[in-house]
Amino acid sequence: MTAMPAPRPERRSAPDPTTTPRPRLRPVPTRRRRMATVPFAMVVALVLAAGMVGLLVLTTALQNQTFVVQKKQAEADQLADQLAALQAQVADARSVQNLAVAAQKLGMRPNPYGAQIVLPDGTVVGTAISVTGVEIPSVRYLTPEQADAQIKALAKAEAERKAKLKAEKKKAEEAAKKKAEEAARKKAEEAAKKGAGQ
């Protein structure tokens, strides 16, 4: 084994600064510091917890608003029903029949020969004739008391009719039941006679 000296690297001459351009100097980028694992996990957990709490608060607020809206809608429906009932009462009070009944209570009678007043200028068309109340004998207006009495009488007559029909139906069912029992008894007697004859 021989030991040979290692070859020496060749010496290069230093570059001439006037002939070769120097490379531009750049700042070395600093290393980004990494967040530690535990604090990062805590930050993520806090963000998630805050989001969940916010979502819970938002849904609760929306539900409360929904309940308020439903309550207001129910109140609006109830008020609409009351308004419809009041409008029906007003329309009923304005009806011709109710006006005629009210006029009759005040002692007024229908006049088939009435005069007409033209409102813009106030002129009277026709001749006004006073009435005694017998001009239209077929017209008869009922007071509310008379109408109630008629309604009660009609209801009583209807109840009596239904009771009579029910009694007749019960009587017919009893007669059919007696007929069926009589037929069964006759069949039993005939079967007994046949059994005794053999």
Final residue of a domain: which of 61, 76, 94?
94
* Domain range for 64: 38-94
In this predicted structure, the answer to whether residue 127 has a pLDDT above a threshold of 80 is: yes
pLDDT mean across residues, the chain:
83
Per-residue confidence at 147, pLDDT binned at 50, 70, 90? confident
Among the listed ranges 3-12, 26-35, 59-68, 77-86, which one has the minimum average pLDDT value?
Answer: 3-12
Final residue of a domain: which of 77, 94, 111?
94
In a domain, 104, yes or no: no
Contact 114, 127 (CB under 8 A): no
In a domain, 134, yes or no: no
In a domain, 154, yes or no: yes
pTM of the model: 0.34
Torsion sign (Cα): 131, 133, 134, 136: positive
Final residue of a domain: which of 94, 111, 134?
94
In a domain, 23, yes or no: no
In a domain, 56, yes or no: yes
Q: What is the arithmetic mean of pLDDT over 8-35?
A: 69
Q: What is the arithmetic mean of pLDDT over 23-29?
A: 79
What residues are paired with 176 via a beta bridge? none
pLDDT for 106 equals 81
Q: Which helix (H) or strand (E) holds 43?
A: helix 37-93
In a domain, 186, yes or no: yes
pLDDT for 12 equals 61
Q: Specify the number of domains making up the chain.
A: 2
pLDDT for 15 equals 58
In this predicted structure, the answer to whether residue 181 has a pLDDT above a threshold of 60 is: yes
Q: What is the arithmetic mean of pLDDT over 145-168?
A: 89
- Beta strand segments in 17-145, E: 116-118, 123-125
Instruction: State what percent of residues in the chain have pLDDT above 90.
Output: 38
In a domain, 171, yes or no: yes
Q: Spell out a b/e string for 41-73, using b for 16 or more CB atoms within 10 Å of the CB, else e.
A: eeeeeeeeeeeeeeeeeeeeeeeeeeeeeeeee
Q: What is the arithmetic mean of pLDDT over 39-52?
A: 92
In a domain, 1, yes or no: no
Match 């609409």 to its residue by tokens.
Answer: 80
Q: What is the arithmetic mean of pLDDT over 42-67?
A: 94
